């Protein structure tokens, strides 16, 4: 078997890139996925999207992606279930509240309106929230949610229409390198001859990197989500509420609500729901949203965050290994940034440079150079959403 490029991973990032490459005219694109389309982190995500970030590169990725998400139904024939419920970021920490204010003025320079809110204002607008211990918060009405599975299926259908081959149940077990360049890919059952490989393996990217002797600093972190039944005391609009500094998220879903459980490292790359942690989730929920103390937890799931050392994606070629590219480490933001990432990666692979957006700050070289980025409000060590 022969391919112009092999993309490892059929999550939103690999599929978005495959679609953009095909649209730009590349043929013989092969996506290899050991599970099924979207069966990795993409299918476990909450699908939140927001513009409210601390770094210019993340803000630009959100704004570019948002344009594409607004046109997603027309382009892919799949409704992405875009809901502008807004993001409410709150914190009891004075230091983080100051960073939220800085973010708001940075976003104003991009034409994005973010409301700065005192605890009393938050309490008046969303009376089901406990606000006495808060230092402040921000609300961005432009933010909201999208359907992660809708995105994955839409990209896959669009890519297939453009002639991309997506093989499910095809685990990559080796990558052949000769003379400093990629020569082929080995699955459990066959060898694919290719001179280009894109690692879009999300939380499992470090394992792919080891196949070619490259350290890809992405670690899997388990995130658990619990689903509650109805809670009639919570009335009116419910935005996506993120308690920055605690890693706790809450929003309405159907008749009930979604609440985050604790996060923990998952070095083996496996995540299953631990019912033992439901107590943590309910206690965190009952603190910030007291009416939830009465709600019944009716289900949940677990998935992996794809965390990089500075909570930013890693995009581009890998110097010293010709033909090997990475698009990974989105650190909990891969769904929302998948449109811009796919486009930029296709440009880099085909022309050597991303024209639609500057991805230079996201090079893998930044870890060796020590030019890490800083996302203080949403840094994963503090938790985000
Ligand atoms: C609970 C939870 C909530 C989240 N909430 C949000 C959110 O609100 N907003 C947001 O934007 N993001 C969110 N995320 C993060 C988001 O899901 C990820 O950033 C995104 O899905 C990454 O997409 P990906 O394509 O890079 O990776 P994935 O979707 O994980 O795709 C990688 C694929 O590679 C495959 N693979 C791995 N190894 C191999 C191999 N050897 N051979 C073949 N295939 C292989 C895997 O099976 C997988 O399907 C959340 C994640 C979780 C777990």
Residues 169, 10: contact at Cβ < 8 Å? no
Domain range spanning residue 95? 85-142+219-307
pTM: 0.97
Same domain? For 245 and 266 the reply is yes
> Whose alpha carbon is nearest atom 21 of ligand 1?
42
* The pLDDT of residue 384 is above 60: no
Same domain? For 171 and 288 the reply is no
Same domain? For 249 and 297 the reply is yes
pLDDT > 90 fraction of the chain, expressed in percent and rounded: 94
Residues 197, 214: contact at Cβ < 8 Å? no
Domain presence at residue 354: yes
Residue that the structure tokens 């008749």 belong to: 255
Same domain? For 242 and 203 the reply is no
Q: How confident is the model at residue 382 (pLDDT cuts 50, 70, 90)?
A: very low
> Whose alpha carbon is nearest atom 18 of ligand 1?
334
> Whose alpha carbon is nearest atom 20 of ligand 1?
334
> Whose alpha carbon is nearest atom 27 of ligand 1?
202
CATH of the domain at 167: 3.50.50.60
Domain presence at residue 74: no
Domain presence at residue 174: yes
Same domain? For 50 and 154 the reply is yes
Where is the domain boundary, 307, 326, 353?
A: 307
pLDDT > 70 fraction of the chain, expressed in percent and rounded: 98
Compare 115 and 375 and report the one with higher pLDDT: 115
Same domain? For 34 and 182 the reply is yes
Same domain? For 160 and 245 the reply is no
* The pLDDT of residue 38 is above 70: yes
Q: pLDDT (tens digit, 9 = 90+) per residue, 92-146?
A: 999 999 999 999 999 999 999 999 999 999 999 999 999 999 999 999 999 999 9
* The pLDDT of residue 380 is above 60: no
Counting atoms of ligand 1 from 1, which one is nearest the CA of 240? 8
Counting atoms of ligand 1 from 1, which one is nearest the CA of 32? 43
Same domain? For 185 and 322 the reply is yes
* The pLDDT of residue 342 is above 90: yes
The Cβ-side half-sphere exposure at 47, using a 13 Å CA radius, reads 22
> Whose alpha carbon is nearest atom 35 of ligand 1?
9
**Centroid of ligand 1 to alpha carbon of 41 (angstroms):** 3
* The pLDDT of residue 374 is above 90: no
Domain presence at residue 379: no
Domain presence at residue 76: no
**What pLDDT score does 379 carry?**
52
- Count up the domains in the chain and report the number: 2
**Centroid of ligand 1 to alpha carbon of 351 (angstroms):** 26
**What pLDDT score does 283 carry?**
93
Q: How confident is the model at residue 307 (pLDDT cuts 50, 70, 90)?
A: very high
> Whose alpha carbon is nearest atom 2 of ligand 1?
45
Residues in contact with ligand 1 by the CB-under-6-Å rule are 8-14, 32-35, 39-42, 44-48, 171-172, 200-204, 223, 225, 303-306, 328, 330, 332-336, 385
Q: How confident is the model at residue 378 (pLDDT cuts 50, 70, 90)?
A: low
Whole-number average pLDDT of the chain: 95
Cβ-based neighbours of 61, under 8 Å, separated by 6 or more: 313, 333, 337, 340, 341, 357
Where is the domain boundary, 255, 282, 307?
A: 307
Domain presence at residue 75: no
Q: pLDDT (tens digit, 9 = 90+) per residue, 80-92?
A: 999 999 999 999 9
Question: Which residue in 317, 347, 17 sits closest to 158, CA to CA?
Answer: 17
Domain presence at residue 381: no
Residue 126 CA: distances (Å) to CA of 52, 80, 130, 135, 312: 20, 27, 9, 16, 31
**Centroid of ligand 1 to alpha carbon of 33 (angstroms):** 12
- Can you spell out the DSSP letters for 72-86? HHHHHSS----B---
Six token digits for residue 249 = 């998220």
* The pLDDT of residue 329 is above 70: yes
CATH of the domain at 225: 3.30.9.10
Same domain? For 179 and 291 the reply is no
**What pLDDT score does 294 carry?**
87
Same domain? For 58 and 164 the reply is yes
Same domain? For 14 and 162 the reply is yes
| Burial of 83 from C-beta contacts in 10 A (0-12 / 13-18 / 19+) | middle
Q: pLDDT (tens digit, 9 = 90+) per residue, 221-250?
A: 999 999 999 999 999 889 999 999 887 899
Q: pLDDT (tens digit, 9 = 90+) per residue, 44-66?
A: 999 999 999 999 999 999 999 99
Domain presence at residue 384: no
Q: pLDDT (tens digit, 9 = 90+) per residue, 170-216?
A: 999 999 999 999 999 999 999 999 999 999 999 999 999 999 999 99
Q: How confident is the model at residue 383 (pLDDT cuts 50, 70, 90)?
A: very low
Out of 259, 335, 341, 345, give the residue to mutate to test ligand 1, the one with the largest number of ligand atoms within 8 Å of its CB. 335
**What pLDDT score does 246 carry?**
82
Cβ-based neighbours of 143, under 8 Å, separated by 6 or more: 48, 49, 50, 51, 52, 84, 85, 86, 87, 240
Same domain? For 361 and 228 the reply is no
Where is the domain boundary, 307, 337, 356?
A: 307
Q: pLDDT (tens digit, 9 = 90+) per residue, 170-180?
A: 999 999 999 99
């Amino acid at each position: 078997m022969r391919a112009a490029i092999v993309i490892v991973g059929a999550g939103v990032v690999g599929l978005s890139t495959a679609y953009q490459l095909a649209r730009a005219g590349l043929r013989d694109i092969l996506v290899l996925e050991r599970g099924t389309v979207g069966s990795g982190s993409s299918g476990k995500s909450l699908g939140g999207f927001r513009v409210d970030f601390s770094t210019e590169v993340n803000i630009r990725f959100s704004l570019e992606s948002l344009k594409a998400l607004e046109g997603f139904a027309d382009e892919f024939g799949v409704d992405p279930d875009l809901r502008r419920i807004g993001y409410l970021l709150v914190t009891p920490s004075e230091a983080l509240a100051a960073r939220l204010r800085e973010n708001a003025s940075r976003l104003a320079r991009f034409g994005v309106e973010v409301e700065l809110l005192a605890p009393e204002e938050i309490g008046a607008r969303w009376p089901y929230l406990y606000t006495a211990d808060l230092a402040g918060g921000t609300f961005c009405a432009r933010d909201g949610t999208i359907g992660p599975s809708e995105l994955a299926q839409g990209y896959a259908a669009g890519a297939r229409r453009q002639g991309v081959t997506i093989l499910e149940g095809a685990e990559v077990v080796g990558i052949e390198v000769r003379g400093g360049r990629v020569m082929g890919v080995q699955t459990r059952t066959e060898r694919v001859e290719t001179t280009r490989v894109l690692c879009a393996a999300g939380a499992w990217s470090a394992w792919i990197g080891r196949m070619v002797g490259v350290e890809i600093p992405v670690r899997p972190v388990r995130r658990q989500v619990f689903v509650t039944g109805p809670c009639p005391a919570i009335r009116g609009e419910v935005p996506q509420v993120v308690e920055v500094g605690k890693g706790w998220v809450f929003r309405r879903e159907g008749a009930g609500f979604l609440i985050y459980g604790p996060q923990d490292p998952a070095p083996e790359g496996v995540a299953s729901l631990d019912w033992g942690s439901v107590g943590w989730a309910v206690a965190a929920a009952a603190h910030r949203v007291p009416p939830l103390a009465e709600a019944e937890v009716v289900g949940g799931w677990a998935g992996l965050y794809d965390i990089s050392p500075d909570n930013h994606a890693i995009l581009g070629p890998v110097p010293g290994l010709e033909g090997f590219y990475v698009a990974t480490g989105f650190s909990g933001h891969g769904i929302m940034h998948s449109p811009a990432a796919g486009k930029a990666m296709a440009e880099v692979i085909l022309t050597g440079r991303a024209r639609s957006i500057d991805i230079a700050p996201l090079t893998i070289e930044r870890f060796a150079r020590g030019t890490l980025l800083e996302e203080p409000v949403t840094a994963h060590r503090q938790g985000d959403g």
